[in-house]
Amino acid sequence: MASRDLTASFFKRRASSRRRKGANGTPSNDRPLMAGGSDDGHSLMMMEDGIQMTSLNKPSWVGEVDSVKDTLAEIQRRMDRLQSLHASRVGSVFGKDLDDMEGRIEVLTRDITDQFRQAERVLQKVGAATRRAGGEEAAIGANVQRSLAKQLQELSVSFRGSQRKYLAEVQVQKNGDLGDSKFGIDLTSDGGGDFFTTQQVQVVDDLQEAIQSRDQEISKIAQSIEELGTIFKELAVLVIDQGTILDRIDYNMEAVVEHTKTGITQLERAEKHQRNARPMKCIVSLLIWPNPNRKQNQQAGRPPYIQSPP
């Protein structure tokens, strides 16, 4: 694709125009921004007709958005660490280290789950704060929520995927253990009489203990997966279903432009509907209201044998 950069030419003309204005004696109290496209919104200092806005004045939800982003990064890092712990735990079949490793895994898993919860809570707060502000800010807030919710959802899916894999591997081990002769005694040997030797009893006790602890471990893993399931459900409300009309940019613009205030209440209502588990209810009333932007979309015209809405 061809393109052409007019920036240099633009800057030249801008500069010469300022010089001309300055030369004409027009007082100019404009001062240039820090050029160079800084990508960090926080440290931007803006001068507007003498009013100075520092980074202290940015609304709180912007800070919260950043904290969610940081949390996401943190979760990713921890998940990577968890993966390697899983791998080493599954790799080592026996030893005292097992308990220690399991402990660490449990702690890390709990931490990650807590962080998911926390991120989701902050995200809900951002939504509430921007909705209260209304207008464009509400639209921005809703979109930020959607984007971050999607990222959170993806992370949670991958987290639960790795948990399930780990669970499956641990279960295999547990079943494997029972058939194993690692305790040194062949339980299937025809040994003698109807009662167990003390040695065999000991073996059975050890095995029972092992089974119980495995069970505990497994049930703890299962629990954490369940917890995430609930968070996931709550997040799902915020995520747009891809491929539907709600995933169209022009559709969203029509909704925002025409009915910002009502759009927000509709958004809230839509969330409520989705919580009631009917997937995807379209916001019907927004479709019926006359929409000048739609007309500009130059519809090729519906054939006359279909009833158009009034």
Partner 1 sequence: MDEELNGIEAIRGYIDRVVNGDGKCRGMKVLLLDASTTQMVSCVYSQTEILANEVYLVARLDDTKQQQEISQSQSLLKAVCFVRPTEASVGLLSKELQSPRFAEYHIFFTGILTSGLLRLLAEDDTLERVQQVQEFYGDFVPINEDLLSMQCRNTLAMSVAAGTSWAPQHAPLYERNVKGLQAILLALKRQPVVGIRFAKHSACAEELARDVHDAIEADDIFHFRKKRRGTLLLVLDRRDDPVTPLLSQWTYQAMVHELLGLNNHRVVLKGAPNISEDLEEVVLSSSQDAFFAANRHKNFGDLGENIQELLQNYQKQTAQHNTSNLNTIEAMQAFMDKFPELRSQSHNVSKHVAIMGELARLVDFCSLMDVSQFEQELACKDDHTPHWRELMEKLESPNVKIPDKLRLGLLYALRYETSGNLHMVKQAMKKGGVPPDMVNLVNVMLRYAGTKSRGPGLYGEDHGALAKMTKSFMTSVQGVQNVYSQHVPLLMDTIQAIIKGKLKSDTHPFVAGSYAKPPNGAPPESVIPNEIIVYMVGGVTYEEGTKVSEFNQLNRGKIQVILGGSTVHNSTSFLEELKMTAL
Residues 245-264 that bind partner 1 (CB under 8 A): 245-253, 256-257
Minimum distance, C-beta of residue 197 to partner 1, in the bound complex (Å): 37
Minimum distance, C-beta of residue 74 to partner 1, in the bound complex (Å): 19
With contacts defined by CB under 8 A, name the span among 85-93, 105-113, 154-162, 173-181 that binds partner 1. 154-162
Q: Is 289 in the site for partner 1 (CB under 8 A)?
A: no
**Of 22, 63, 103, 161, which lies in the binding site for partner 1, with binding defined by CB under 8 A?**
161
Compute CA 21 distance to the chain's CA centroid, rounded to the nearest angstrom. Answer: 50
Tell me if 224 sits within 8 A of 216, measured CB to CB: no
Q: Is 54 in the site for partner 1 (CB under 8 A)?
A: no
**Of 107, 201, 204, 280, which lies in the binding site for partner 1, with binding defined by CB under 8 A?**
280
Q: Two tokens at 188? A: 């299937």
With contacts defined by CB under 8 A, name the span among 86-94, 98-106, 116-124, 156-164 that binds partner 1. 156-164
Closest to partner 1 by CB, 203 vs 240, is: 240
Q: Is 269 in the site for partner 1 (CB under 8 A)?
A: no
Q: Is 215 in the site for partner 1 (CB under 8 A)?
A: no
Q: Is 296 in the site for partner 1 (CB under 8 A)?
A: yes
The span from the CA of 275 to the CA of 108, in Å, is 30
Closest to partner 1 by CB, 57 vs 181, is: 57
Q: Is 136 in the site for partner 1 (CB under 8 A)?
A: yes
What is the amino acid identity at position 7? T
With contacts defined by CB under 8 A, name the span among 25-33, 80-88, 99-107, 188-196 that binds partner 1. 25-33
Backbone angles phi, psi at 83, to 5 degrees: -55, -45
Q: Is 195 in the site for partner 1 (CB under 8 A)?
A: no
The span from the CA of 294 to the CA of 279, in Å, is 26
The span from the CA of 252 to the CA of 257, in Å, is 9
Q: Is 90 in the site for partner 1 (CB under 8 A)?
A: no
Q: Is 58 in the site for partner 1 (CB under 8 A)?
A: yes
Non-local CB neighbours of 67 within 8 Å, separated by 6+ positions:
122
Q: Is 87 in the site for partner 1 (CB under 8 A)?
A: no
The span from the CA of 170 to the CA of 167, in Å, is 5
Crossing angle of the two packed helices 198-236 and 135-179, in degrees rounded to 10: 160
Closest to partner 1 by CB, 185 vs 270, is: 270
The span from the CA of 92 to the CA of 88, in Å, is 6
Q: Is 176 in the site for partner 1 (CB under 8 A)?
A: no
What are 57-61's contacts with CB under 8 Å, separation 24+?
59/129, 59/133, 60/129, 61/125, 61/126, 61/129, 61/130, 61/141
With contacts defined by CB under 8 A, name the span among 76-84, 115-123, 145-153, 191-199 that binds partner 1. 145-153
